[in-house]
Amino acid sequence: MQIQNPTAVMIARTAVAQDDVTGDGTTSTVVFIGELMKQAERWLSEGVHPRALVDGFEFAKKEALSYLDAFKQDAGPTDRELLHCVARTALRTKLEERLADHLTDAVTDAVLLIREGTAEGSAVDLHMIEIMHMKHKLESDTRLIRGLVLDHGARHPDMPGRVDQAFILTCNISLEYDKSEVNSGFFYSNAEQREKLVLAERKLVDDKVAAIVALKRRVCTDGQGFVIMNMKGIDPMSLDVLAKEGILALRRAKKRNMERLTLACGGYEVSSVEELEPECLGYAGKVYEHVLGEEKYTFVEDVRHPKSCSILLKGPSDYAIAMMKDAVRDGLRAVKNVMDDGAVVKGAGAFEVGCAEHLLKAAAKAEGKARIGVESFANALLGVVQVLAQNGGFDAQESVLAVRRAHADGVPAGVDLTTGELLDCDLAGVYDNYLVKKQILNSAPVMASQLLLVDEVIRAGINMRKRG
C-alpha cells in the first residue's frame, strides 16, 4: 500500500488549482512554494516562531501584488505581435523551440479568429476552437483550419468525396423508420394489407428525402454542391437517393459540431422538413473527406463567418500528440488571458528579481520579526530565478547577481537562457501573463503558511474536541 505525503498532496492540489484558474504557472507555483519552505526551514532551525514568518509572508504578499500592478504593461486585445510573443513564450516552456514556433501562429490566429465573432464586452469562448488530432505524418504538419474538422464521414461509397461551393443543411431530422416509443402493434389479415403498411411507412421517409432533394435543386446551380449534416440517422435507401443526386450526407453528427457549423457557415438548424427554406442553409467554399486507415475525417473550409475553427494536430505517436495537445491548450489560455487582463508582465525572471529588490527595501516597514518573513519571501523569489538559470545550464548565482545589478541601475532585465547573459524582454518578446503571476503570489504564500502553521491547526482541533 502506497502512503502519500500530505505536504506533497497539498502542493499538488495548489498546482492543479493554478492550472484550472489560469492555464499555466503550475511549475512556478511548486518551485515558489518549495523556495518559501526552504527559506522558512533555515529560520525555524534558529528558533524563529512560524507565526512571525507567516506575518511576514502576508505583508510581503500585499507589497508584491502592489508592485505587480505597477510593473505590468498595458496590452491591446488585438495587438497580434504582442499576443504572438505571449503564445510563443508559453509554448516554448513545454515544447522544443522549432515546434513551439510552428504552433505559435496557429494558436494566436485561432483566438483572434474567435474574438472577431465575439460580442463586444463578452469573454472569448475557447470551446469554439476544436482541437483535433491525426496520428499521421510529422508534428510540423499541424495547421489551423479556418472552419471545422469532423471526425466522421459519409456512409455511402457513391457520394462525392469533395464538394465545392457547398450549401450546408444542418438538421435534426430522422431519415429512417422510427420504431414506436410505446407498446403497439399492427394487425393485417392478408399480404396485400401488409404491403400497404410497408409502403406507408416507407412513404413517410421518402417524402422527407424528396423535400430535401427539392431544396437542393432549387438553390444549386452549375458548379455548386449540397451537403447534409444530420444529427439523426439516415437509412440505406435514403442514402441511395441522396447519392444519386450528388449530395454528401453525414449522419449521427455530434451536437457540438452542429452548433459550430451554424456559427461558422451561417444558416440555422432545422428539425422538420416544413422548415426547409434557402435561408436555413449555410455555405462553405469546400467540403472534402480525408481517409486515414479505417477512420474518416470531413473538412469544412472557406466558411462565411469563421466564428469557430479547428487546430489539426498531427504527429507520429500518441505521446507526441498528447504533449502537443496539452501545450496548445496552455497557449490558447495564455492568449485569452492577455485579452481578459489587458496587460502583460516581462518574463525571464525580470518580475521576480524586480519584486525581490522592492521587498528588500520595503522590509523596513514590517514590525519585529515579521521582517524576517519579508526577506525570506524576497529570497524565495530570487530562488525561482536561480532554478530558471540552472535549467538553462548556467551558474545560478552569477546570473541572479547580474540581473540584480541591472535592476539596481534601473534596467528591468531578465535571464537569457540561450547565452546566460542579460535579456531585454521587450526586444526579445518574452512576456508572461499578469493573471498567472497574480495567482501565484496569492496562492503560494497561503499554502506555505498553512504548512508552517499545521501544528497550530492540529492543536486547535484537539482543544475543540476536548471542549466538546
Alpha carbon distance 365, 93 (integer Å): 37
Tell me the pLDDT of the chain (468 aa) as tens digits.
Answer: 344 567 777 778 888 888 788 878 788 888 888 888 888 888 888 888 888 888 888 888 888 899 888 888 888 877 888 888 889 988 888 888 888 888 898 899 888 888 876 666 677 788 888 888 888 778 788 888 888 888 778 878 888 888 888 888 888 888 877 665 566 666 767 777 677 766 767 788 888 888 888 888 888 888 888 988 888 888 888 888 888 888 888 888 888 888 888 888 888 888 888 888 888 888 888 888 888 777 788 888 888 777 788 888 888 888 888 888 888 888 898 888 888 888 888 888 888 888 888 888 888 787 888 888 888 888 888 888 888 888 888 888 888 888 888 888 888 888 888 887 888 888 888 888 888 888 888 888 888 888 888 755 555 444 545 555
Sequence-distant (≥ 6) Cβ neighbours of residue 359 within 8 angstroms: 60, 63, 64, 67, 374, 375, 377, 378, 381
Q: What pLDDT, on the 0 to 100 scale, is given for residue 430?
A: 87
Q: What pLDDT, on the 0 to 100 scale, is given for residue 185?
A: 66
Buried b (16+ CB within 10 A) or exposed e, 5-17: eeeeeebeebbee
The fold for domain 6-75+344-467 equals: GROEL; domain 1 (1.10.560)
Alpha carbon distance 196, 7 (integer Å): 75
Alpha carbon distance 257, 168 (integer Å): 13
The fold for domain 148-305 equals: GroEL (3.50.7)
Q: What is the pLDDT of residues 129-163, one digit of tens each?
A: 888 888 877 878 888 888 888 877 887 888 888 88
What is the residue-wise DSSP string for 302-350? EESS-SSEEEEEE-SSHHHHHHHHHHHHHHHHHHHHHHHHSEEEETTTH
Place of cell 504527429: 315
Instruction: Fill in the amino acid letter for 268.
Output: Y
CA distance readout (Å), 5 to 9, 11, 445:
6, 10, 20
Alpha carbon distance 445, 458 (integer Å): 20
CA 263 from chain centre, in angstroms, equals: 19
Alpha carbon distance 115, 113 (integer Å): 5
Residue pair 133/325 in contact (Cβ under 8 Å)? The answer is yes
What is the residue-wise DSSP string for 370-439? HHHHHHHHHHHHHHHHHHHHHHTTS-HHHHHHHHHHHHHTT---EE-TTTSSEE-HHHHT-EEEHHHHHH
- Can you name the residues that pair with 313 across neighbouring β-strands? 133
Grid cell locating 231: 444529427
Alpha carbon distance 242, 196 (integer Å): 24
The residue extents of the domains of the chain are 6-75+344-467, 148-305
Q: What pLDDT, on the 0 to 100 scale, is given for residue 2?
A: 47
Residue pair 414/429 in contact (Cβ under 8 Å)? The answer is no
